[in-house]
Amino acid sequence: MNLARQAMKRALTAVLPRDRFLVSGPMSSRRDRSGFCDGRTQAEIALTFDDGPHPEWTPAVLDALASAGWKGTFFVIGERVEQHPDLVRRIVDEGHAIGNHTYTHSAPAETPTAMFLDELRRTHDLIEHLTGTSTTLVRPPLGKLTGGKFRGLWTAQQTITLWNVDPKDFAMCAESEAVTWVRSYGLRTGDIVLLHDRLPYAAAIVRALSQTGEETVRSVAVSDWLPASASSGMVLEASHA
């Protein structure tokens, strides 16, 4: 991410309400390695998973989360929701949060605003039809938005959900790399960690994190950091901006 985008994220985080633009969760005002300044030792983070569901790797992630007793947030692609509806139901049935990652994950630079919002609406309706639940969590492909797309999401009262920790699991070639990253990761309360459940190493990261011990870290759903009213957003409407 370039410096201009980083500066924009910091500026938006400072001025926008958490239920509309989220880069990280609640943090302590002064943090040690565990993220706390009041004697606690457990860091509360949000593990998020993009680009699924995948028939092999999503179940592995769900199994790892279940073993740890943790919750995750899954930003699903509509095409893959149609291909693997039972996995989407399992995600919701096991108490995880689900988010919208468009229908095709098309390249941001090649996707007009109207198409982007239409893909989100289509995926939103699929999730609602399959699970009976509605989500306002949206993660744009690559975390990139234009002004028109941002306005469309704002009008629809969606929660733009980005991240502040990226292990780059997409570039990993072995489980040992996932373990090495976990050992180097300085746990901080409020971190939103970007992972991909279309790849084999997200589950390895979950397992390695959980083996650090219950008193060190736990994962919660992104929605746990939002007010209850944030779960009842408007139906997405396409824009011609």
DSSP type of residue 194: E
3-state secondary structure 28-46: CCCCCCCCCCCCCCCEEEE
* DSSP-derived 3-state class of residue 134: coil
CA distances from 38 to 29, 30, 32, 41, 189 (A): 10, 9, 10, 9, 12
Q: What whole-number distance in Å separates Cα of residue 123 and Cα of residue 126?
A: 5
Residue 51: active-site member: no
Residue 129: active-site member: no
Of 50, 51, 118, 197, which is the active-site residue?
50
| 222, two tokens | 């992104």
Q: What whole-number distance in Å separates Cα of residue 49 and Cα of residue 161?
A: 12
Of 96, 105, 196, 197, which is the active-site residue?
196
Known catalytic residues are 50, 196
